[in-house]
Amino acid sequence: MTDREQAPQSVKDAQLASYQVDNRGQGMTTDQGIPVQDTDNSLKAGDRGPTLLEDFHFREKIMRFDHERIPERVVHARGSGAHGYFQLYESLAEYTSADFLCDPSLRTPVFVRFSTVQGSRGSADTVRDVRGFATKFYTRQGNFDLVGNNMPVFFIQDAIKFPDVIHAVKPEPHNEIPQAASAHDTFWDFVSLQPETMHHVMWLMSDRALPRSYAMMQGFGVHTFRLINAEGRSTFVKFHWIPKLGTHSLVWDEAQKIAGKDPDFNRRDLWEAIESGNHPEYELGLQLFTEEEAARLDFDVLDPTKLIPEEIIPVRRVGKLVLDRNPDNFFAETEQIAFCVQNVVPGIGFTDDPLLQGRLFSYLDTQLTRLGGPNFAQIPINRPVAPVHNHQQDGFHFDAVPAREANYHPNSISGNTPTPQGDRGYVHYPSQVAGPKLRLRPESFADHYSQAAMFWNSMSPWEKKHIVAAYRFELGRVVRKEIRQRMVEHLNRIDNDLAVAVAQGLGVAAPEKVTDNPGGRSPALSQAIEPKDKPLGRKVAILVADGVDAASVTPLVETLKAQGAVPELLAPVDGAVTAADGTPLPVDRAIVTVASVLYDAVVVPDGTAAAELICGDGYAVHFVAEAYKHAKPVAFIGAGAMVRTAANLPAGDAAAEAGVLTSGAGAPDEDFLGQLVTAVAAHRFFERPVDAVSA
């Protein structure tokens, strides 16, 4: 690694390290460095007298406690983040002058924050919601913030509607219910009256709203941006993040149970993956196209409720993002990081997308309140690695100490510096702007159903089943029947079969077909085609008890670890179990402290005594049945098959047996272990008759 490659990362690390404080072994002081005598008793007039105003340590300590909480984000309050780096595969100088997209030898430091949209900071990770995927690139030309989501389209077309959609989806104002949920009247009332939402809501009702982990979640810049090269030529671009592990999801029943069992499920998964060295990795994909190509599309690329099918404009993979370091302090980094859509570097520009234009104002404005004033860029996590020189001054939390006599431009006192850099500075792309001042949507934004239908048409049978179930659940929580009926009428303009299936679960009239399904297909939209060749990061529960055959456990653990999976031994009690040969076998967790929904697969090893104990444990039997119901791989070795019988799992045909593995007694052979690895990598087996399982 050359010095040039390491420079930006090491600069940012050193910058952050300069603010780190190690309190270990140190005497206590006030914020002013004054030694503290006693922090357990306030200064009083006599041991039972009133507290004295002169107790500066007490006043400072209480004041600081009173102000520990900054206002949480209005949206995306629930978040988790990590440090990492971005590295380009090959130069994109043909399209952009952005330094970090032109030099493949650079490793650009980044901080990524994942989040949910609706809920408060204390809400659960696994709610049905859009996920934020925001990336701050600390480039040598300044900070570039790619503030995206895990869905490529948004609810609305114009930013002026953003307060409306968020007010509608947030807890209802009269009773502050429900938290972090869209299954209520105000949201669906808004949606049913605002047909531009139809495409995004289709994504929201799909499994994309329930990511298995942040490492298995796509990201999108949503808008059409510009790349601008050194000659000033512009190319339109859509940004994509593509996870190395593929895009995989939870199922709704599982997501709800995880919210109770471990509301920090996604946050914990990200933290543990990085700590264990299984660093989440993504590729940056670009859809590059000219204005002429955009004009030939049958929709407007400035409409944020539309996507460009990959079959029309392919996604070119141009670099990788690796998250390899957890924050040292959640508040200082993850909570105080301030993303602003306006933060771009030379070579990246904006378009006239009306949602994007509004975001250029909104993000800066919200940081002023949330982070206490205009100097939030001086907070360490927000500081660029590029040098900062300007005449800005003062205000809350101004941390710099400028050495200057003149704080204005032009000046002769300080040699007229800092000086604007002309063409070396950021130059806005000189696109043509003309027309009367109007409050109107363009006619090219008027089609609200075709791409929603395209998404529906592109789904596999199991994905369609999940979408119908999601609409039934969400609309089933809506009290007002007229809202349900309006939504079914909108769905009927997307696809009659979809509308009828949803209506049948809601107690409203099934609509007659009024129009043909208006959409095409885009196979790339389906999760059924995602890579399923490696079990990296998957958690596998191995159920053990006294009398387990250790020879059937050891190869499981070794093989799964070698393939990047995370096996854990679960037993009726924590500590250790005694194997059939008398040796102690350490246990990772007591089964009652976890649940099947926290794992991606379940294995029951050999050992008659152990299998009998597990069969007699209702929680353990339910654990296996529930994993089967959620379409996860389940495997049984030797006497472990007794647990399959106790769980009453369906059998007898290919669908029932999908993802169910069995092996003879003793140590499993390589063929079985290979099948297990393949099954875990496959993620789910939705062809199973899971509705017949009582779990």
Residue 4 has pLDDT above 60, yes or no: no
Angle subtended at Cα 219 by Cα 216 and Cα 225, rounded to the nearest 5 degrees: 165
pLDDT digits (tens, 9 = 90+) for 551-605: 999 999 999 999 999 999 999 999 999 999 999 999 999 999 999 999 999 999 9
pLDDT digits (tens, 9 = 90+) for 35-83: 889 888 888 898 888 888 888 888 888 888 888 888 999 999 999 999 9
Residues constituting the chain: 695
For residue 2, what pLDDT is reported? 44
Residue of 572, 577, 579 whose CA lies nearest to 608 = 579
Is 149 one of the annotated active-site residues of the chain? yes
Query: Which region holds residue 35: left if phi is over 0, alpha if psi is between -120 and 50, else beta?
Result: beta
pLDDT digits (tens, 9 = 90+) for 182-241: 999 999 999 999 999 999 999 999 999 999 999 999 999 999 999 999 999 999 999 999
Domains of the chain: 79-374 (2.40.180.10), 463-526 (1.20.1370.20), 533-692 (3.40.50.880)
pLDDT digits (tens, 9 = 90+) for 50-60: 888 888 888 88
Residue 443 has pLDDT above 90, yes or no: yes
For residue 11, what pLDDT is reported? 67
For residue 3, what pLDDT is reported? 42
| pLDDT-derived band at 130, boundaries 50, 70, 90 | very high
Is the CB of residue 6 less than 8 Å from the CB of residue 107? Answer: yes
Residue 467 has pLDDT above 90, yes or no: yes
Is the CB of residue 496 less than 8 Å from the CB of residue 206? Answer: no
Is the CB of residue 539 less than 8 Å from the CB of residue 566? Answer: yes
Higher pLDDT, 437 or 283: 283
User: In whole angstroms, how far apart are CA 457 and each of 282, 505, 514, 525?
Assistant: 27, 21, 18, 10
Radius of gyration of the chain from its Cα atoms, rounded to whole angstroms: 28
For residue 7, what pLDDT is reported? 56
For residue 652, what pLDDT is reported? 87
* Averaged pLDDT for residues 677-693: 91
Residue of 646, 552, 617, 532 whose CA lies nearest to 216 = 532
| pLDDT-derived band at 87, boundaries 50, 70, 90 | very high
**Partners of 661 in the beta sheet?**
635
Distance CA 363, CA 365 (A): 5
**Partners of 115 in the beta sheet?**
79, 132
**Partners of 85 in the beta sheet?**
109, 322
Written as six digits, the tokens of 514 are 């009024």
Distance CA 18, CA 399 (A): 14
Is the CB of residue 300 less than 8 Å from the CB of residue 268? Answer: no
User: In whole angstroms, how far apart are CA 6 and each of 3, 105, 111, 116?
Assistant: 5, 9, 16, 33
For residue 46, what pLDDT is reported? 87
Distance CA 623, CA 691 (A): 16
| pLDDT-derived band at 274, boundaries 50, 70, 90 | very high
pLDDT digits (tens, 9 = 90+) for 618-649: 999 999 999 999 999 999 999 999 999 999 99
Angle subtended at Cα 83 by Cα 81 and Cα 89, rounded to the nearest 5 degrees: 120
Written as six digits, the tokens of 132 are 């934020």
Angle subtended at Cα 338 by Cα 12 and Cα 221, rounded to the nearest 5 degrees: 95
Angle subtended at Cα 680 by Cα 78 and Cα 219, rounded to the nearest 5 degrees: 35
Is the CB of residue 631 less than 8 Å from the CB of residue 463? Answer: no
Written as six digits, the tokens of 67 are 């102000």
Written as six digits, the tokens of 442 are 């363009």
Is the CB of residue 346 less than 8 Å from the CB of residue 98? Answer: yes
* Averaged pLDDT for residues 666-680: 96
Query: Which region holds residue 547: left if phi is over 0, alpha if psi is between -120 and 50, else beta?
Result: left
- Percent of the chain exceeding pLDDT 90 equals 79
Residue 368 has pLDDT above 90, yes or no: no
Which residue type, as a one-letter code, is found at position 457? Answer: N
| pLDDT-derived band at 540, boundaries 50, 70, 90 | very high
- 491-501 burial code (b ≥16 CB/10 A, e <16): bbbbbbebbbb
Residue 279 has pLDDT above 50, yes or no: yes
**Catalytic residue chosen out of the listed positions 57, 76, 200, 490:** 76
* Averaged pLDDT for residues 343-352: 94
- Determine the angle formed by the axes of helices 252-261 and 265-275, rounding to 10 degrees: 80
Written as six digits, the tokens of 260 are 């109770």
* Averaged pLDDT for residues 522-535: 91
**Catalytic residue chosen out of the listed positions 83, 143, 149, 457:** 149
For residue 5, what pLDDT is reported? 46
CA atoms within 13 A on the CB side of 558: 10
Residue 395 has pLDDT above 90, yes or no: no
For residue 65, count CB atoms less than 10 angstroms from its CB and return exposed for 0-12, middle for 13-18, buried for 19 or more.
exposed
Distance CA 486, CA 466 (A): 21
- 400-435 burial code (b ≥16 CB/10 A, e <16): eeeeeeeeeeeeeeeeeeeeeeeeeeeeeeeeeeee
Distance CA 619, CA 607 (A): 19
| pLDDT-derived band at 530, boundaries 50, 70, 90 | confident
Is 457 one of the annotated active-site residues of the chain? no
For residue 8, what pLDDT is reported? 61
* Averaged pLDDT for residues 159-167: 94
Residue 26 φ then ψ, to 5°: -105, 150
Q: Among 1-10, 93-102, 403-412, 533-542, name the one with the lowest average pLDDT.
A: 1-10
